[in-house]
Chains A and B, each alone.
Chain A
Amino acid sequence: MRLPTKEKWVWLVPLIILILLWQFIAVYVVKKPEILPSVTAVIFSFYELRNYILPDILVSLLHFAMGMTSAFAVALPLAIAMGWYDTVFKAVDPIVELIRPIPPLAWVPLAIAWFSLTHFAAGFIIFIGAFFPILIASYTGFRDVPKVLVETGKVLGCIGNRKLIRYVAIPYALPSIATGTRVGMGVAWMCVVAAEMFGVSKYGLGCRIFTKFFPWHQMDYVVAYMLILGLVALCLDRVFRHFVEGKLFKWKKGIVK
């Protein structure tokens, strides 16, 4: 769908108003940069921090990737088992429901005890954050496979669970898996900051905010990094949607549209 040019740029209006308001309040009302830095100060911070930004983003992405891939690799097989075999679901679900509500932050002491102050400790916290959204959405997808599609698979020659899972259940559950992964990515990115708070590495967006900027009350730098956190997540989400969802959800359009 093509938006008329007028509506295409409509998002700029509140954005500009917000920026102007922020600048006005910071400069004329609050007047304390350690409480609310001005827009210009934040923009200038980007320039001042230009040598740190890229390495910090890359290290944070490394932590993110470690947590996400391991979460995906563990959650997906478990989701297949839980979604397809009811006995497995009944056996494992209580444990999952017990561990799931524990906030990823509560795992920090154990993470440091197990992995000491390494990238792996950060990766582990992010793993905890991403694991459950992926697991829950994926096994729901597998549990929802319509019986008649499974029977059609059987009649057409899918003998045994392996073929039924491969040819019927996985294709059916893929959109759910994608949704879970997307939600998991969001949670994982939130966990990046928490995971890096404790000095597991010298670089990283969260690490920089908490160990370098905050102790000196450099709020302009903090806000600049907050904006970077938002922008990177936005890009990750867009890339994911572009490459994954567009393809997977095509057949669902008829149902969702």
Chain B
Amino acid sequence: MNHKLELQHITKTYITEEGEMTALDGINLEVKPAEFLCIIGPSGCGKTTLLRMVAGLDHPTSGKIILDGKEVKCASPDRGMVFQEFSLFPWRTVLKNVEFGLEISGMKDKERQAIAEKYIALVGLEGFENHSPYELSGGMKPRVAIARAHATAPSNLLMDEPFGSVDAQTRNLLQEELLEIWARTKKTVLFVTHSVDEAVYLADRVAVMSARPGCLVKCLAVDIPRPRKRTSVEANEFREKLLGWLSLERSKACATL
């Protein structure tokens, strides 16, 4: 199956009081099936907006997003999304949260429970099925969100800084787990982050964006074999390269202010 994702000349402008503001300017990007792509850039560069467009929650002013040969027009369960704030439904238990998409699609009780339990096991939350979101720790919430995004069997997974709010040690653990899940499920992952470390550890390819107007500056393949070591020489070299690009972008952005 070919789940190719293409962004064709995406531009987004907002009308503000001072006139037109270009948030994204002519972004072209092709994501290969089962690729893990990290989008990195300074805050306010529109990386979240870009991801929301792929999800179908936002619309480009011009340009097209093509998925499997079809243009993306609205949200659909074939693109799972993990939001920054996890957005678990607080009135539903872990199990019911993971079941949500399947329930909407009209699947029978037993069937959807079996699927949900499979994904809850995948993220290592067995035994927490009947807990409510408020009873979960900070590291469990993103796991539930990941399980829920997987449950509808999407071909693409969109993640918007999902580990931004968890502590550093939990984040490392979650990254390792995410890679394991990805290795097993082979989904196309679009992962927005502001952390260079995270991008270097996770991605097949890193797309670097510049701020105001947001455009794609560089696309770098991370040619470090997996499993990667965070402290290896190659990883550090790559990190330095990325940081160099980012600080160049930052200084350019400052110069134009």
Which A residues contact B (CB, under 8 angstroms)? 146, 148-149, 151-159, 163, 167-168, 171-172, 174, 250-255
Contact = CB atoms under 8 A, between A and B. Distances in A.
A157 B76 contact: yes
Contact of A156 (B56, B132, B134, B148): B148
A251 B90 contact: yes
B244 to A, nearest CB: 34
Q: Is the interface of B mostly helix, strand, loop or mixed?
A: loop
Contacts of B142: none
25 contacts: A146-B87, A148-B83, A148-B85, A148-B87, A151-B55, A151-B57, A151-B83, A154-B74, A155-B55, A155-B56, A155-B57, A155-B79, A156-B77, A156-B104, A156-B148, A156-B152, A157-B77, A167-B103, A167-B104, A172-B91, A174-B91, A251-B91, A251-B133, A251-B134, A254-B133
B162 to A, nearest CB: 13
Contacts of A253: 134
Interface string B89-104: 1111000000011011
Contact of B87 (A149, A157, A251, A254): A149
Nearest to B151: A156
Contacts of B135: 254
Contacts of B104: 153, 156-158, 163, 167
Given A163-B104, A171-B89, A251-B132, 16 more contacts: A146-B87, A149-B87, A151-B55, A152-B89, A153-B104, A155-B57, A156-B100, A156-B152, A157-B77, A159-B74, A168-B89, A174-B91, A251-B91, A251-B133, A254-B90, A255-B90
Contacts of B132: 250-251, 254
B80 interface: yes
Contacts of A171: 89, 91-92
A167 B103 CA distance: 10
Nearest to B134: A254
Contacts of A255: 90, 134
Contacts of B55: 151, 155
Interface in B130-150: 132-135, 148-149
B85 to A, nearest CB: 6
